[in-house]
Amino acid sequence: MVREVDIISYLPPILHEIKEIIAIANVEKPVLDGLWQQIEDTLNNQFVITTNETGANRYEKMLKLNVPETDTIETRRFRILTRYQEQAPYTNRVLKQLLDSLLGEGQYELERDVVAKTLSVKIELTVKGMFDAVVLMLERITPQNMVLTVQLRYNQHSTLGRYTHAQLVAFTHKQLREEVMP
């Protein structure tokens, strides 16, 4: 909470010592604190980056997003931002700017082959919900005559977990991290 409500400080000093006035101020304080919190929440919910659960629910309802209940507020904010960032048709430069704004520079690899009509994006994400949101956004803005491939940039524990340590010893750290496992 940004603002601390102190009712007594608004009263003349002569009233600071009266028990009834202090009791009234103590009763009113939680109500005023709640009002200030509601005002602050209303202001924060106007912006996706600072929205809380209530604001995220409102955005998701407006955008008709189906969100799993297990998503964190950060994942939900990311999903909302991806929907607002969609713009079709797009140029290669606009796509790079879009991915930079959502994921950050250097957090993805983008390969486009105009002749073969393919678009390949490798994303460095560890949160499954964010990966799914990026895939949905790219599917919505990518032209239908292009083949879209979206992958995680590095192997995750879930990929390597099915191998034993004896099997993984044959690979270098770089191979384990960056190459497709057989």
The pLDDT value recorded for residue 42 is: 93
Q: For residue 149, what are the β-bridge partners?
A: 120
- Model confidence over 115-148: pLDDT tens digits? 999 999 888 765 556 788 888 888 888 888 889 9
Same domain, 40 and 115: no
> What backbone torsions phi and psi does residue 17 show, to the nearest 5 degrees?
-100, -5
Domain count, the chain: 2
Closest by Cα among 137, 128, 148 to 75: 128
Secondary structure (3-state) at 99: helix
pTM for this structure?
A: 0.56
| 70 within a domain of the structure (yes/no) | no
The pLDDT value recorded for residue 182 is: 64
Same domain, 97 and 182: yes
The pLDDT value recorded for residue 1 is: 54
- Model confidence over 29-53: pLDDT tens digits? 999 988 999 999 999 999 999 999 9
Q: Is 33 exposed, middle or buried (0-12, 13-18, 19+ CB in 10 A)?
A: middle
| 121 within a domain of the structure (yes/no) | yes
Helices (H), the chain: 19-44, 53-63, 73-85, 92-103, 128-141, 157-160, 165-168, 173-178
The pLDDT value recorded for residue 89 is: 64
Same domain, 100 and 182: yes
Domain range for 15 is 8-44
The pLDDT value recorded for residue 126 is: 57
Same domain, 20 and 104: no
- Helices 53-63, 73-85: axis angle to 10 degrees equals 30
